Structure 1
Amino acid sequence: MEQLKVELPKNVTDAITTAVFDSFKSAQKSVNSAWPLYLSKKQACKYLNISNKTLNEWIATGDIPYKHIGQTYRFSRNDLDKFMATK
């Protein structure tokens, strides 16, 4: 089957590229604004859609990035995103 190659003018491809990036930035802001930058264990479980047991296992094995301050655990949302991208 022969493919048809169509080349669009540069101003059209630039407009499409700008619209896609603007849409992505807007969607990213709306998703991330619902969650604080640093999450508690409960929030991290909801954010990652995992059980508390799974989170505790990942903490015990050192797989997941976290900060332990006294008796409190904090998880950076950005670090969690990077972590899940490697899973």
Structure 2
Amino acid sequence: MEQVQPKINVQLPNEVTTAITAKVFDVFNQAQDNARESKFPLYMSKKQACEYLNISNSTMNEWINSSDIPYKHIGKTYRFNRNDLDKFMATK
């Protein structure tokens, strides 16, 4: 036997609708940030940092040579802190 669900049409005040919409977007953006952080480790290789910033290797080399971008040079490898990269990009 199939149950019939009544349809209720409720008109919410604009302030409530706006608040709900804003909260949904906040939660969505937070989920995206969390997913992005889980994909990229806190300390990244040069290749990972390029992918994280969506830049080419040549752009990364230019930034390294001009000492614009924060990094650590350990032996023959470069390491980039994700938080430092976020701060750096916020100033670009």
The TM tier, using the shorter chain, reads 0.7 to 0.9
Cα gap change, 1:33/1:13 in structure 2, threshold over 3 Å: closer, same or farther?
same
State the Cα distance separating 1:22 from its structure 2 match: 3.3
Partner of 1:26: 31
Q: How does the TM-score come out when normalised to structure 1?
A: 0.72
Q: Does 1:70 align with 2:80?
A: no
Aligned mate of 2:54, from 49, 52, 67: 49
The count of corresponding residues between Structure 1 and Structure 2 is: 80
Q: Tell me which structure has the larger Cα radius of gyration.
A: 2
Write the distance in 1 (CA, Å) between the matches of 2:14 and 2:46. 49
Q: Superposition RMSD on alpha carbons, in Å?
A: 2.0
**Identical counterparts, % of pairs:** 56
Partner of 2:7: none
Q: How does the TM-score come out when normalised to structure 2?
A: 0.69
State the Cα distance separating 1:50 from its structure 2 match: 1.3
Write the distance in 1 (CA, Å) between the matches of 2:33 and 2:86. 12
Q: Deviations over 1:20-75 (max 9, x none)?
A: 54333222111211111111011111111111111111111110000111111000
